[in-house]
Chain A
């Protein structure tokens, strides 16, 4: 006799149920219970919901996620984000703890559960969407995890059944007492610090990166209070894996045309607060953007570019990331490839033609999409860096001049630079200092901008040439240039118009 596969349904039993009965039959699966406030979203929901609920819940969650993403773009600190998000969460996606006397616990958790899975469907289609989705979902999870109260949190964690960490034995605690003591900063000697976990260091790369764990022979000794980081890392890795699977299953989704339009609509609406510089490489009208004119134009540059320009003129050289940041900025203000090559050639006047052609020409052409792989050429090279990118990626190392001066300079050097840009007002300098201390680098930059263009902004507002919309916070160096140029040339432009 042939061996039977266990998964196979006995042919005689197949489809005994009449389809009409089947449709209304009691479900085979268990109804989901939500014992904990938090959810790892391991199992997909199974109960029925209406189409309206489907759409509404998804939209509500989307609002929350979009706002959360905006917070990270604005460089808000975790504490600020939490306080900013609280009213929004309460409105769209409330989630109360077991101890609260709220009677709607189940429906809250159900909504949270379902909306997560709906968005998972909507955002699994492309790599980019998946990455963004897992990033913001992780942020949301981390925020909730940290706000959960202690006993419920540990109940949740133990329910997860994670087997990859082990507690540190007393023996080890004594052996590494000195090292472990160095990990707990003097102030926080409270109850949680007694416990330590030992995990493979690869499980907690973020803690290793910021040197918040003690390492020995590939094992990381994680203090109890960093447990959240491990749980969050596990959340992310599971979610990423699941998204990957969802993406693969998506084409085979057994679906009529009710859900697909909603899902497509949702993923389209996941808009990024626009920090990219959209208008391409068009120069402001009337501006003459050429290699010879850069010195003249540099008065309109923000501090980061002004500093690069000064460094370039002083040393006749810039290191790689400085060149990249500056080239793309110049490309963004409308300097074309030939002019850009001419500019760099003449600026690097200490090197020979040969060296320039060998070591630098290719990079400039690559930035403009003149050479390189297919996708680079088709996309016209890289786009100019936004403040977000300059602030968060590749902090400058020894001898490097790129980055954001408001962030990467010390106060003395920053003050010197801002003064060289023409700011002498003490209150402005004081404001810049405070912004820097509070890590509000955008604010500092915009403060300087507003001071340098005080008269023009007033005029533009009074005469209604620029709406306040056009004068909102600058989050891109190229926007800084463009606006500065337009403001400084207000009079000329209107003259031209009057003549015409």
Chain B
């Protein structure tokens, strides 16, 4: 673990990401970091002037993980020396989203709790697609990074300047705009949306339709048993229709969810119910698709400016996997179980050295190769670097503009 933070962790890129400029600013210096130590003590309000100091402290304390909080109005370490407490308040933080597969436990059949597999990871793929497109198209955000959380979820960091400086009210507005699945374990139907569907929802529904057929009906087979099928029936509006469906399915046990889903329309057409409201049925079916595919956000993370979230590239203490960024362009190919772990990465460094010895001639390039470039972490760090330079570029343009305005002011 120590060698990971010593040799592999991309400190410089992390610094640039949070600092938004090459020279240290308050964006980094007044930023809160929180360490979870080996004995599970939780150390809040740490702050560092530069990436080197952060690195030094991480190596000294060897936290099992560390989290990133907001930029405060003053240095978090000095917060107790201030005369009035209101002078210490959070100013800005990336807008964050947290999606966790445990929230899908009532609809996934392959795994539960902390375990995941590639089947249920598809829920995450759909969720990222829906949220990402909404943030980009609806809200106009550009710098969005998705990060695998190391075990069973993913985080989004929206890093646009506008997003960072939003207050709690605006964060809450976005979070609720995106939240569709509401209700506790006892509230029954969890999707209750107005008709006609909001453009965001009809777009989401378009994205999710095929996933529903393939990844939910085929793969998860959520209504295989009679008991599970009862859950489906409870979401349908027409009692007579439900009765005939129930009879049909009892007669043929082991019918797959795909067929059962098709049965709904087939039976409805035969006129099993005289007063069938075909529109209500269609809407109920849409709601079911949403309930089984729409992203389930851990909304509290997004609502508050001062919420902390695990930093990218930290090692997940339980699995040993590195929290790597997810490439949204190749979202479908992302394999959470194939993400490099600390052990595999360290082994790769050793192997790389061995490999280099065998070849001859490339001595010059060998001198300046960083350790992470020798491993399978490289594509992820490269991706992170591109992402960060994108932010800095935008930030730079804004800054130059401001300077120019200042120039014109004095004469």
Q: Taking beta carbons and an 8 Å cutoff, which residues of A are in contact with B? A: 178-179, 181-183, 185-186, 201-202, 205-206, 208-211, 214-219, 307, 311, 358, 395-403, 405, 408-410, 412-414, 417
A-B contact pairs, 5 of them (CB 8 A): A185-B195, A209-B173, A215-B199, A408-B186, A409-B184
Bound CA span A400–B169, Å: 24
0/1 string, B188-231, CB within 8 A of A gives 1: 11100011111111100000000000000000000000000000
With A182-B197, A182-B202, A183-B198 in contact, is A401–B184 under 8 Å at CB? Answer: yes
Closest chain-A Cβ to B312's Cβ sits at a distance in Å of: 24
Q: Are B173 and A358 in contact (CB under 8 A)?
A: no
B1 at the interface (CB under 8 A from A): no
Bound CA span A183–B196, Å: 7
Q: Are A210 and B183 in contact (CB under 8 A)?
A: no
| Other A-B pairs beyond A408-B183, A409-B187, 11, CB < 8 Å | A182-B199, A202-B170, A209-B173, A209-B177, A215-B177, A218-B138, A396-B183, A396-B184, A398-B184, A408-B187, A410-B189
B174 at the interface (CB under 8 A from A): yes
- Give the residue name and chain of the B residue nearest to A322 (CB): B184
**A202 / chain B contacts, CB cutoff of 8 Å:** 162, 166, 170
- Give the residue name and chain of the B residue nearest to A358 (CB): B40
B172 at the interface (CB under 8 A from A): yes
**A183 / chain B contacts, CB cutoff of 8 Å:** 198-199
**B162 / chain A contacts, CB cutoff of 8 Å:** 202, 218
Q: Which of B103, B138, B166, B195 contacts A399 (CB 8 A)?
A: B103
Q: Are B184 and A400 in contact (CB under 8 A)?
A: yes
With A182-B197, A182-B202, A413-B187 in contact, is A217–B296 under 8 Å at CB? Answer: no
B382 at the interface (CB under 8 A from A): no
With A210-B176, A211-B198 in contact, is A397–B137 under 8 Å at CB? Answer: no
Closest chain-A Cβ to B73's Cβ sits at a distance in Å of: 16
Closest chain-A Cβ to B230's Cβ sits at a distance in Å of: 13
Bound CA span A413–B40, Å: 40
Bound CA span A396–B190, Å: 11
**B170 / chain A contacts, CB cutoff of 8 Å:** 202, 205
Closest chain-B Cβ to A1's Cβ sits at a distance in Å of: 21
Q: Are A403 and B184 in contact (CB under 8 A)?
A: yes
B377 at the interface (CB under 8 A from A): no
Q: Are B166 and A402 in contact (CB under 8 A)?
A: no
**B308 / chain A contacts, CB cutoff of 8 Å:** none
With A182-B197, A216-B137, A399-B105 in contact, is A405–B176 under 8 Å at CB? Answer: no
Closest chain-A Cβ to B203's Cβ sits at a distance in Å of: 9
Q: Are A399 and B106 in contact (CB under 8 A)?
A: yes
Q: Which of A214, A219, A397, A413 contacts B182 (CB 8 A)?
A: A397
Closest chain-A Cβ to B167's Cβ sits at a distance in Å of: 9
**A414 / chain B contacts, CB cutoff of 8 Å:** 186
Closest chain-A Cβ to B139's Cβ sits at a distance in Å of: 6
Bound CA span A219–B202, Å: 19
Bound CA span A178–B206, Å: 15
Q: Taking beta carbons and an 8 Å cutoff, which residues of B are in contact with A? A: 40, 103, 105-106, 137-141, 162, 166, 169-170, 172-174, 176-177, 181-190, 194-202, 296, 299
With A214-B199, A358-B40 in contact, is A398–B181 under 8 Å at CB? Answer: yes
Q: Are A398 and B40 in contact (CB under 8 A)?
A: no
Bound CA span A217–B199, Å: 13
- Give the residue name and chain of the B residue nearest to A399 (CB): B185
Q: Are B199 and A401 in contact (CB under 8 A)?
A: no
Q: Are B185 and A400 in contact (CB under 8 A)?
A: yes
Bound CA span A323–B181, Å: 22
Closest chain-B Cβ to A217's Cβ sits at a distance in Å of: 4
Q: Are A209 and B200 in contact (CB under 8 A)?
A: no
With A205-B170, A209-B173 in contact, is A182–B184 under 8 Å at CB? Answer: no
Bound CA span A358–B64, Å: 14
Q: Which of A206, A211, A219, A399 contacts B184 (CB 8 A)?
A: A399
Bound CA span A410–B189, Å: 8
Closest chain-A Cβ to B300's Cβ sits at a distance in Å of: 8
Bound CA span A210–B202, Å: 16
Bound CA span A358–B190, Å: 33
Bound CA span A219–B162, Å: 13
Bound CA span A400–B188, Å: 13
- Give the residue name and chain of the A residue nearest to B138 (CB): A215
With A209-B172, A396-B183 in contact, is A413–B137 under 8 Å at CB? Answer: no
Bound CA span A155–B17, Å: 49
Bound CA span A182–B140, Å: 21
Q: Are B176 and A398 in contact (CB under 8 A)?
A: no
Closest chain-A Cβ to B255's Cβ sits at a distance in Å of: 26
Bound CA span A389–B177, Å: 22
Q: Are A395 and B183 in contact (CB under 8 A)?
A: yes
**A209 / chain B contacts, CB cutoff of 8 Å:** 172-173, 176-177
- Give the residue name and chain of the A residue nearest to B105 (CB): A399
Q: Are A398 and B106 in contact (CB under 8 A)?
A: yes
Bound CA span A219–B140, Å: 8
Q: Which of A211, A216, A413, A417 has the most CB of B within 10 A?
A: A211
**A417 / chain B contacts, CB cutoff of 8 Å:** 186
Bound CA span A185–B195, Å: 7
Q: Are B184 and A397 in contact (CB under 8 A)?
A: yes
Closest chain-A Cβ to B218's Cβ sits at a distance in Å of: 23
- Give the residue name and chain of the A residue nearest to B139 (CB): A218
Q: Which of B196, B197, B198 contacts A186 (CB 8 A)?
A: B196
- Give the residue name and chain of the A residue nearest to B196 (CB): A182
Closest chain-B Cβ to A393's Cβ sits at a distance in Å of: 11
Q: Which 8 residue pairs of A and B lie closest in terms of their CB atoms, listed nearest first?
A: A218-B140, A396-B184, A410-B188, A205-B173, A215-B138, A217-B140, A179-B199, A209-B173
Bound CA span A73–B67, Å: 38
- Give the residue name and chain of the B residue nearest to A417 (CB): B186
**A401 / chain B contacts, CB cutoff of 8 Å:** 184-186
**B105 / chain A contacts, CB cutoff of 8 Å:** 398-399
Q: Which of A205, A208, A398, A410 contacts B103 (CB 8 A)?
A: A398
Closest chain-B Cβ to A164's Cβ sits at a distance in Å of: 15
Closest chain-A Cβ to B162's Cβ sits at a distance in Å of: 8
Q: Which of A206, A215, A410 contacts B187 (CB 8 A)?
A: A410
**A201 / chain B contacts, CB cutoff of 8 Å:** 139
